[in-house]
Chain A
């Protein structure tokens, strides 16, 4: 990896109007990325299956069944059943997606069958998938993290440089105008990309794991400070759900950016490592 980087950085600058290939992703990044994709997809879907067994979220140690912070269910309106989602006192009709879905909106699932794993109601099955792929993601994450620290990848490729931080306003504007880095700039992750990866890897995921572990009665006995730290077991369950939602939102934006910035080039680079850099537009137009 480091030799590759040196090669590319000593290569002539990309300006001659010719696309150039650069070795962008080390093999560990590529493999842990795709294992992570599988794990996260299964964890999100089996997590919704588990949520469906009791589709309400609370704050504190215990469940105040009469006053959940969030709940999904059904109610009668004008003589017919509708799916409703209640968030902090707000009630939203979500028939067709949350509460009631499927053929003729006849399935009383909180999250619809097409989003859960298994698709039918099966808490035991959902838990089996969830815990197996949670363990796999732990090993996947550890390999990435240890390598990332040892190789300098996290420091070199993820922590924004001082220059990048200074131009963050410019980067935000460019993103809003869907204008993405070309030429030399495209050799590296841009500043918003770095911040997004750092926040997910070192804030959202650790909090999500901690909140997940706090739901375990066994670990709460081993580490009595765990549940109070997160405000109680039910708060931990809510935090776990919110973090999972943030990861789903990240995945959504991530995939959108992949599509917007050259889908085949991006996918090839995450499979083979090689990324094609588009030349800078010529100055004279």
Chain B
């Protein structure tokens, strides 16, 4: 009895995976997408089990720094407001922090540089497959969040950026992370790269580093931070620019 049950279950599993095959040729249906998306939850769940809140991404030495760090995504935003900020050396740029916080903040680069900092030499892993090693200095995101004070229903931190990768529709880049990554010691808002202020191709004046996830999570050209309880109502509702275009929200693999 037990044997036949197992057998039936297994055969059902085989049949289930075989039925998806013909769909592969004609693009994915929404139903198919939902089935395949279950693997993402499983990956996230498994990695959450294996990763303690504090496990650190590997850090490297100065000698390991890549001489040719590839700039990914946008490398030269054409947003007029951003262009004029860049022309004046970002002296009028402010990082706005709002949403579900007790004290909304508006911080200049000088304010951020005056806060406690962390320097780390880490490997940047692009979803495409390549890796580069760079040295980043910035203020831990946790410092900014502590100063603003999160309200109890805040669950995600959203980063709004100045760049739009798609010139046709002008959708702005944005990203979101959960609180365990937001308070992770290596999660920093970086203003220096390899010992010098961030340049435009790498996300000046401020970019995110989330070292335990892939490169597309690390938003560049950050203008505003918002604490939210859900990202369902932002843009397409999947939590980020690339997430809205089919990539995983949890980019730990």
Contact = CB atoms under 8 A, between A and B. Distances in A.
Interface of A: 27, 31, 34-35, 38-39, 42, 50-51, 53-54, 56, 58, 61-66, 117-119, 122-125, 127-129, 131-136, 143, 215-224, 227, 233-234, 237
B24 A118 contact: yes
Residue of A131, A221, A237 with highest tally of chain B CB at under 10 A: A221
B38 A132 contact: yes
A249 B190 CA distance: 46
Per DSSP, are chain A's interface residues mostly helix, strand or loop, or mixed?
Answer: helix
B21 interface: yes
B27 interface: yes
Given A38-B18, A128-B40, 7 more contacts: A62-B64, A62-B66, A124-B245, A216-B252, A217-B57, A217-B212, A221-B212
B80 interface: no
A122 B245 CA distance: 10
Interface of B: 7, 10-11, 13-14, 17-18, 21, 24-25, 27-28, 33, 35-40, 42-43, 47, 50-52, 55-58, 60, 64, 66, 68, 70, 123, 125-133, 211-214, 242, 245-248, 251-253
B126 A54 contact: yes
A136 B51 contact: no
A220 B68 contact: no
A215 B13 CA distance: 28
B27 A118 contact: yes
Contacts of A122: 246
B133 A216 contact: no
A53 B13 CA distance: 31
Contact of B128 (A54, A58, A117, A135): A54
A62 B39 contact: no
Contacts of A39: 17
Nearest to A220: B58
A55 to B, nearest CB: 9
19 contacts: A35-B10, A54-B129, A61-B60, A63-B70, A63-B130, A118-B27, A122-B246, A123-B128, A125-B246, A127-B247, A128-B28, A129-B24, A131-B43, A134-B39, A217-B123, A217-B251, A219-B252, A221-B55, A222-B52
A50 B59 CA distance: 26
Contacts of A50: 129
B132 A62 contact: yes
Nearest to B184: A221
B3 to A, nearest CB: 8
Contacts of A136: 13, 17
Nearest to A212: B253
A119 B252 contact: no
